[in-house]
């Protein structure tokens, strides 16, 4: 497996991966005909929060099998990062692709002297990467119903003074 930055040529494969990875989460919901994650990635690419150096794909041979992106978010006046979406082709799930992408993204963010990464996701999954409930660090999501799943991962440049309300990039609120 190789992990590298996404290129424009990867866009269709990335959309297909997110569509396939997230479709099972919406089964039985007649209001959802298409998972929103592919459109979210497209909207993020067009947003000022987009950080091309932190949008990564995993490849096996020449096939894109996973994608992750980090985008610019904020905690009050402090710039931080938001993780998501993370998608892995269903045929490659539970093989380490997602873990490799998370490790690579966190390592890249750390190398860029970023301080904190926040996300809304499964605590059982993300705790293995050092994510903790945001409230433990004095960081809360700006949407109260996200609190149970909101987590942060301090990086080497973390400053404990960075506390307050976490705000995702605008496209996350259009889901």
Between CA 155 and CA 171 the distance in angstroms is 24
Paired sense of beta strands 116-120 and 132-133, if any: unpaired
* pLDDT, the chain, mean: 97
Q: Is the pLDDT of residue 175 over 90?
A: no
> Residue 28's pLDDT band (boundaries 50, 70, 90)?
confident
**pLDDT confidence bin for 103, thresholds 50/70/90:** very high
Whether the predicted pLDDT of 98 surpasses 90: yes
Nearest to 166 by CA among 101, 93, 78: 78
pLDDT, one tens digit per residue, over 37-80 is: 999 999 999 999 999 999 999 999 999 999 999 999 999 999 99
Write the CA distances from 170 to 9, 67, 83, 104, 111, integer angstroms: 25, 20, 14, 25, 25
Q: Quick one: pLDDT band at residue 93, thresholds 50, 70, 90?
A: very high
Strands 63-75 and 164-167: antiparallel
């Amino acid at each position: 497996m190789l992990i590298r930055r996404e290129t424009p040529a990867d866009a269709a494969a990335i959309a297909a991966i997110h569509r396939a990875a997230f479709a099972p989460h919406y089964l039985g919901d007649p209001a959802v005909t298409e998972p929103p994650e592919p459109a979210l990635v497209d909207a993020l690419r067009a947003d000022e929060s987009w950080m091309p150096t932190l949008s990564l794909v995993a490849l096996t041979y020449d096939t894109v099998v996973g994608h992750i992106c980090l985008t610019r978010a904020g905690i009050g006046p402090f710039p931080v990062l938001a993780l998501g979406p993370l998608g892995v082709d269903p045929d490659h799930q539970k093989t380490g692709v997602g873990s490799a992408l998370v490790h690579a993204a966190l390592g890249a963010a750390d190398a860029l002297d970023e301080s904190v990464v926040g996300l809304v996701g499964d605590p059982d999954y993300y705790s293995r990467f050092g994510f903790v409930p945001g409230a433990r660090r004095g960081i809360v999501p700006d949407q109260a119903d996200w609190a149970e799943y909101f987590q942060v991962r301090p990086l080497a440049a973390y400053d404990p003074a960075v506390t307050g309300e976490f705000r995702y990039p605008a496209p996350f609120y259009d889901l």
